[in-house]
Each structure stands twice: as C-alpha cells, then as structure tokens.
Amino acid sequence: MFVYNTMSRKKEGIRALKDKRLGFYACGPTVYFYAHIGNMRTYVTEDLLRRALAHEGYVVRHVMNITDVGHNVGDGDVGEDKVRAEARREHRGISEMIDFYTGKFLEEEALLGIQRPDVMCRASEHIGAMISLIEKLDGKGYLYRTSSGMYFDTSKFKDYGRLLGSSFEKMSKELKAGARVERPAGLRNITDFAVWRFAEPNEKELVWDTGYGRGFPGWHIECSAMSMEYLGETIDIHAGGTDHIPIHHTNEIAQSEAATGKRFVRYWVHGAFMTIGDRKMSKSLRNVYTVEDLVKRGYLPLSFRYMCLTVHYRNMMNFTFDGLEHAQRSLKSLYAFISRISAIEGVGHVDQELIDKAEALRKEFFECIGDDLGTPTALSKMHGLMNLVRGVKLNGSESRRILDIMLDLDSVLGLEFNMHLSSALQKEAKELIGKREDARRRKDFRTSDEIRSRLRDEFRITLEDTEEGTVWYTSTD
Ligand code: AMP
Ligand code: ZN
C-alpha cells in the first residue's frame, strides 16, 4: 500500500514497525455546529484509508479527537473559544450543545458508512495529559508567558515549517508581508502559538485551574497530547484536511518533537478540500450543506460517499447537485446489479475464462487502491467487472463467484452492497443473525462463533455486540 506522504512529498510504501499494527490519528470535528459535507469528504477519505489498510491485513487502531474546547473564533489565538461563543449565541448550555453536535456527527458518519474510530477522545477530558506535555516543554525552555497565555517559541524548534516545505525564517517573512492576521500582544515571533490561554474573569465554563493559571488549552496541544496518550510518542499515520498543513499540523509537530525528541508522525496524509461554487465550503462562511440536508432533498447518504470516490482525494472536489444526482444513478445501478446477480440460483458449470477475467479485475482494483487510494480508477475496474458479465447468462455458481468479488471490493468502498442482496439472501443472513442471538442467549458460544464466521465469509458482514444490541457492518476482514 502506497500513500502520498506530505512530509516527504512523495508516495511511500506503508510499513508497520511491528506486527502489522498501525496507529492512525485523525483530527476530528470541533463540535459547535453540524459537520458539513466538506468535512465529511475528509472523514470518508480517512475511512477509505483505514479500510484499505485493514484489507491488506493491517490491524489499525484509529483514534479521533472531539474538539470541545480550545478552538478559537479568530484562528490566530485571539477571540473566544468557538464552542463557548456558539453556546452563548444559541442560548444553550455548553455540555448539552457538545453532546448534541457530537451525537449528530456520529449519526451522519454512520449514514456515510464511516466506521467508528476505536477511540474517540474529548479534549475537555484530557486536560491533565495536556498540562503534562506543557510542563515538559516548559522544562526544556520552549515556552514563554505573556499576559494572555503560555506560548511556544517557534524560533527554538529547528525544523519549524518542514511539513509545508518551508522554514521558520521563510514563514515569518511571508506572514509579516501577507494580510495581517490578528495576533495576541507580546509574541516573540509571528509564528508562535498558544499552548495554554488564560481565561477572562467572565469565562466560567470550560476553564481549568492549573499551575499555569486559570484557563484552557490551545487547540494544537490537544492533538499532540491525546495522540500520545492513545498511540504513543510516534504515530504511524496522521490524517486531516490540507488546511491543517501550515498551522495546526506544523504546530503539532513542533511541540511534539520538541517534547519527546522523537519523530512525531511517520506518514502524513492530507485530503484536498471540497468547494462549492468557487469558494471553500466552511462553517465560518456558512455556505454549507450537511448530510441531513442531502437526505431531505431525497438523496441516499451513500450517493455522497460514491461521489467522493469518483474524485481522487488529493484533488479538489467541487460539489454540485448535478454531480450528486449522477453519483446516485451510478450507485443505484450498482445496487440493482448486486440484487440481480445475488438472486441467481442453481449450480452449474463455471466458465473459467470469465472468472479469470473477473479475478484479474479484482486484482487491478486493489492495485489502484494500493496506489495512494486511486478510487476513480478502482471504480472503473469495478464497472469493467459489471460490463464483463453484462448480457452473459450466469448460472448460480458463477454469480456467486462474481458476487464474492463485488463484496470484496465493497469492503473497501464501503457502499454497503450487502444491504442490497436478493431478498432470499437477505432473509438467509437475517436468519443467521437471529440464530446467533439465540445461541448467545443460551451461552452456546461455539455455535455463535461459527455463525459469525459464516456471516463474515459468505456475506461479508461483521457483527459487533454493543450495549444497544448487535449491529452489523460491511466486513474488512
Ligand atoms: P474542523 O471541524 O474545521 O476542524 O474540520 C474537521 C476536518 O474537516 C479537518 O480534517 C479539516 O481539514 C476538514 N475540512 C474542513 N473543511 C473542509 C472542506 N471544505 N473540504 C474538505 N475537508 C474539510
Ligand atoms: Zn488535530
């Protein structure tokens, strides 16, 4: 599996340091508003990467933060905390608002077939880890105090700006020459950033009393502290949107590597933006659509996922309803194909030449995916497979072979083909799920495990027993 590493500016083969295990950290949402479909494009890309790696046999530990404190309205460490400001504007309680938007986010991710991260961590619950990291940086002389907070002195970090192919001197010069971004008073360098901000006397919620004074964390320190807590000091893969390269990820690298003296991330993966008209889609411009908006207009959420797959993740994607319409038509024809071939019954002679061609397309599909998530070309291989059997009268034995390939491709695409199997097969899968539930109730774990394996092998369904009952996903095993 190759990915484009923003740090080295080339495609690199992914290798685990041990046992095919990979730690994967993705910057999550700031929960002061609905996540929009631009954000969702980035999360779909991350989900694809995770699925592709799982398909290659890696055991991926996916960690995502929920930013519920520390992200300021003015991005340059000025202005109020976004969550606090929005709660006031909406006249809502802060924790109720955080729960509401986090819940909405998870619901919409599920609608897009995005697998839940293994760990979802809230910034407000990791203040202790952030303070420890801040103390470490302070002990090494990287921090200084101003009237508004504790700041990281970027001139002291040797490789500052390397992620965007720049340097401390170059970035300082460019920032000084460019449009003025408001910065707090007392900064030593224009690129310096807050790791801890002092609270104003009227700020009562989302503030903590610490040795550095009453306040709240800077946004960047959250990701460094939480990724280290769950994935160790060196993360294998760190992902996010390209907007994070110049500031958020650049600062994460500076403070993490300054604190540990180790390399922070092995592979940096960044997804390009989604635009609407000629403008970027962003919460602050309020030119956004949510998944719910698309559903209200009669679209399947997975049509949006399909649309994302048609554009390579490193290319800008312009959102239009025409494009979505087109994606939905393609997706529906795929579903019709799945339900048609899965309804074919009867054992028969297998045309080996046909199956060999189909297997070659499966292989090519995964080569495209393995080449920096080449989803547009991978989709063309899948359509090639559909064309291959168009007009061919398949018997049940052949259709099962084709279906098996399609479900395998879908384990990475995540379009939930297994929800569109013929009604007979769906009935069979549902009966198996029911039988497994019975076996579990009887504590007959052997039978329950046997059924679980059958569901995985024959239907590509992974079962997960949660507090709310058993849920099923498209399997990536
Ligand atoms: P935020 O909640 O703004 O921190 O963004 C959450 C994630 O979505 C980050 O990885 C951003 O880089 C990404 N993102 C924000 N806006 C867009 C957009 N218009 N297109 C694609 N990704 C975006
Ligand atoms: Zn982050």
What is the pLDDT averaged over residues 429-434? 88
What is the pLDDT averaged over residues 320-332? 96
Q: How far apart are the CA of 248 and the centre of ligand 2, in A?
A: 6
Q: How far apart are the CA of 241 and the centre of ligand 2, in A?
A: 10
Instruction: Determine the Cα–Cα distance for residues 413 and 460; give it in Å rounded to an integer.
Output: 13
> Which pLDDT score is estimated for 474?
62
pLDDT band at 228 (very low <50, low <70, confident <90, very high): very high
Q: Is the dihedral of CA 219, 223, 224, 228 positive or negative?
A: positive
The yes-or-no verdict on residue 468 having pLDDT over 70 is no
| Closest approach atom of ligand 1 to CA 29 | 2
Q: Atom 1, ligand 1: which residue's CA is nearest?
A: 29
Instruction: Determine the Cα–Cα distance for residues 63 and 143; give it in Å rounded to an integer.
Output: 28
> Which pLDDT score is estimated for 472?
67
| Closest approach atom of ligand 1 to CA 28 | 6
pLDDT band at 456 (very low <50, low <70, confident <90, very high): confident
> What's the half-sphere exposure (Cβ side, CA atoms, 13 Å) at 253?
24
- The correct CATH number of 279-424 out of 3.40.50.10860, 3.40.710.10, 1.10.730.10, 3.40.50.2300 is 1.10.730.10
> Which pLDDT score is estimated for 75?
62
Which residues line ion ligand 2, judged by CB < 5 Å? 27, 223
Average pLDDT over the chain, rounded to an integer: 92
What is the pLDDT averaged over residues 105-119? 94
Ligand 1 pocket residue status of 38, Cβ below 6 Å:
yes
pLDDT tens string 373-404: 999 999 999 999 999 999 899 999 999 999 99
CA angle 460, 408, 305 (to 5 degrees): 95
For the chain, the structural domain boundaries read 2-271, 279-424, 425-477
C-alpha distances (whole Å) from 243 to each of 239, 240, 335, 399 are 11, 8, 35, 45
Ligand 1 pocket residue status of 287, Cβ below 6 Å:
no
> Which pLDDT score is estimated for 116?
92
Topology annotation, domain 2-271: Rossmann fold (3.40.50)
The yes-or-no verdict on residue 476 having pLDDT over 60 is no
Nearest to 368 by CA among 382, 385, 347, 353: 382
Residue 196 contacts residue 218 (beta carbons within 8 Å): yes
Residue 155 contacts residue 166 (beta carbons within 8 Å): no
Ligand 1 pocket residue status of 244, Cβ below 6 Å:
yes
The yes-or-no verdict on residue 282 having pLDDT over 90 is no
Q: Hey, is 61 helix, strand or coil?
A: strand
C-alpha distances (whole Å) from 135 to each of 186, 215, 269 are 21, 15, 29
Residue 47 contacts residue 57 (beta carbons within 8 Å): no
What is the pLDDT averaged over residues 266-272? 98
Ligand 1 pocket residue status of 184, Cβ below 6 Å:
no
Q: How far apart are the CA of 43 and the centre of ligand 1, in A?
A: 9
Find all residues with CB under 8 Å of 285, minimum gap 6, and list them.
279
pLDDT band at 360 (very low <50, low <70, confident <90, very high): very high
Ligand 1 pocket residue status of 86, Cβ below 6 Å:
no
Ligand 1 pocket residue status of 379, Cβ below 6 Å:
no
The yes-or-no verdict on residue 78 having pLDDT over 90 is no
pLDDT band at 471 (very low <50, low <70, confident <90, very high): low
